Structures are given as structure tokens and as C-alpha cells.
Amino acid sequence: TTDIKVDVLVIGAGPSGCVASAYLHQQGLQVKVVEKNTFPRFVIGESLLPRCMQHFEEVGLLDALKAANFEVKNGARFLRDDVVCNFDFSDKHTKGWDWTWQVPRADFDTILAKEIQKMGVDLSFEHEVIDVQFDDAGISTTTINDAQGNPYKVEAKFIIDSSGYGRVLPRLLNLDKPSTIPEHSSIFGHVEDIHRPTGEEGTMITFDVLDKDTWFWVIPFSNGNTSLGFVGKNEFIDSFEGETSERLKNMLKHSDYYYERFKDAPLLFEPKSIRNYSKAVTKFYGKGFALTGNSAEFLDPVFSSGVTFATESALISAKLITKELQGETVDWEEDYSNYIKAGVDVFATYVKEWYTGNLQTLFFHRPENPEVKRQICAVLAGYVWDETNPFVTKHKRIVKTLAHLINMEKEKSASV
């Protein structure tokens, strides 16, 4: 027996679920969002990309976010040894947003969730999806435990699975497949940034590169706290012993640039760790459902693509579902799967070439090539579907080839 019937059930109220449900609601569809946690809740993914601003804008969520005065992110800084590589989003190949934010996600996601509730979206917190059954026509019956632990059933014409690390449908339908990204793990936490310098130095997002496989993020927030996180091979992460607080403190000693600033900065909670974080699925959609955001795919934090991918896929799947429910024919393979894969593939190349060292060769080679930099900057801003950018269309070859040329040049000048 079904207790509730809706057009679309959205699982999870992170950025992906909020953007999808806001859009569907505005199209006049009957939407229900179920979120297993209470908000605010911690989730990692604090550095956004300019491209996601247009998604929030399109569904009317931008003004509420603006009112929160999050730290503005105008670019990104990469450090290696004594070389600084600064990307400025206002100087990029693709037109579009040239700024975004650095956000504590507990606050950010709460604003989004409250805002969709204000719009009239039916959102239930502490409601956890525990089972989903599909019939041949793709109509689903989902079993949900409410806040008191009482199960009820929702019938839906479509499910958008935006459950992030919960990976509800990939688990229930067996859609997981190994990621092709080399395995890495991470330890991260928030500190009270008691020695924050004034000006840009204090607020700029920075990636401090320790070696080819190991790097450290510094993401200052406008509330005076800063997110610190280390990423490395499992051997590196595992070589530190004790509680995560002790491990993070000891890892900090590897950052010449930041050790003094953060060595006695009070941690705001016991840091978290996540192992082999890259995830992939065998398909992004099926009859009666679409996977969006992290529930579909997660590559690597190095280019901060997670939330942008989450909102991009949310908006596209919501648009396709709307069309289909209005009786139009939808080519999910072309307009969803292939489109999403094209963007994911570009980022996947950059992530892979980061860890081969080729991309780092490009970033830290001096003198810089301004044209190359503008084109790479557009990719780093999230504009990975711009076919006028050779760093998008030729992503598989161009980073490798340029790095090779730089290395040959270096060898030549070394042998002269």
C-alpha cells in the first residue's frame, strides 16, 4: 500500500537535491524531498566553482546565499616549493561567472534547504530511504523511515537520487563500479584561524603541493574559521598515527608555508578522514530514476568540481524529467549520460594529469604562457563544456603534450 503519491521523489537535501527540487517545484510538479539528517550537518566540499552560481541563480536560490556573506572566491592559488601559480577567474577563456564562494557547508546547505521550504517544496528531515522497488514502467515505491522510525511508502514517477555519500540507488541497484582515478585518501577539519593575516593572504584559497601525490588545502571562511585538509596516497595518510587531530597536526609540519599560521590553531571538532573517496557508477539513469551529484560520481577534490557537478547534473536531470512528464520524448543517453560524461571526462583527465605530475609541470613552469593559463583557468572555473576551448576539446592530449615539451626544453637547457 502507498501512503503518498508524487511526481518526483528526491533523495537528499544537499546542493544537488535542493537545486533539482527547486526547479521541479517551479515547473508545477509534485515533489517530495527526504533527507535522513537534521540540518545543519557537516559535509565536506567547501570550495565552489563559478559555474555553479548560474545553477543557483536559475532556480532562484542565489539571493538567499548572497545574504549570508560567505567568503568570496575570485580564483585559486597553487604553491609548490617557492613557485606560486595564481588563477584569477576574471581572466579566463570562457565567458561566465568570475567569482564564487568558500563555504562551511553546514551553513550553506541549511540556507538552501530553508529556501526551498520557503518556496513551498515538501522537505522532510530525518526521513531515511531504506528501500526502493521499481515496476516495469519505472514507477517506484520507496520505503522511508520517518523521524520516529515508522516506515511509510511513497510512489513516484521519477526518483532523483541526490543522496551523496549515501549512494542510495547505486547500493540498492548494484550500480557501483571502480573509479579509474588513482586511490587517494584525506583527513580534514576546521580550525579557529587565530593567526589569520589581514588582506588576501588571509582569505585566499590555497593548494599547497607537498609532492606529486600529496597536497594540502587551506579554505578560509568569512566566519573566521578555516578548513584544512590533507590529501595523499594511503601510504602517506596511514603513516600518521593516533587520533585524527594528532595526525592532522603532524601533517601540518609538512607545510613550510602554513605551519606557523596553523600550528596552534584550535580545532573545532575531531577531524574526519575518508578513504579511497573516488566513486563511479555503471550508469547515470534508468527507467524512472536519475543519479545526480556525488551519488553518481566523485573524482577528486583537487579542482573543487564536486558541488558544481552536483548542481549541473541536478538541473539537467530535473529539466529532462519535466519534459518527459509533459509528454515529450527524452533522449536520456544523449542529453543526460553523454553530456554529464563529457564534463566528467574533462575533469577526470585533469585529475589524472595532476597526479602524473604533468599538470603540475604546466602550473609551475616559468615564464607562464598567458593564453594557456586563460584556457586552463576556464576549466578550473567549471566551464568544461565549452567547445571553443582546446583545453576542453583536446583534454586527453593537450596537457600531456605540453608537459612533455616543457620537460624536453628543460632537459635541453640543462645539457647546454
Q: Which residues bind ligand FAD (CB under 6 A)?
A: 11-17, 34-37, 43-48, 128-129, 162-166, 168, 186, 188, 229, 274, 277, 293-295, 298, 301, 304, 306-308, 310
**How buried is residue 407: exposed, middle or buried, by Cβ count under 10 Å (0-12/13-18/19+)?**
middle
**Residue 209 near residue 360 (C-beta atoms within 8 A):** yes
Backbone angles phi, psi at 97, to 5 degrees: -55, 140
Nearer residue to ligand FAD within complex by CB, 286 or 390: 286
Nearer residue to ligand FAD within complex by CB, 125 or 339: 125
Nearer residue to ligand FAD within complex by CB, 308 or 361: 308
Nearer residue to ligand FAD within complex by CB, 164 or 189: 164
Nearer residue to ligand FAD within complex by CB, 19 or 402: 19
Nearer residue to ligand FAD within complex by CB, 101 or 391: 101
Q: How far is the CB of 82 from ligand FAD (least distance, A)?
A: 25
Q: How far is the CB of 164 from ligand FAD (least distance, A)?
A: 2
Q: How far is the CB of 344 from ligand FAD (least distance, A)?
A: 12
Q: How far is the CB of 408 from ligand FAD (least distance, A)?
A: 34
State the CB neighbour count (10 A cutoff) for residue 78: 21
> What is the DSSP secondary-structure string of 178-236?
--SSPP-EEEEEEEE-TTPPSSHHHH--EEEEEETTEEEEEEE-TTSEEEEEEEE-HHH
Q: How far is the CB of 199 from ligand FAD (least distance, A)?
A: 22
Distance CA(3)–CA(1), nearest Å, equals: 7
Q: How far is the CB of 295 from ligand FAD (least distance, A)?
A: 6
Largest CA distance in the chain: 81
**How buried is residue 102: exposed, middle or buried, by Cβ count under 10 Å (0-12/13-18/19+)?**
buried
Amino acid identity at 374: R
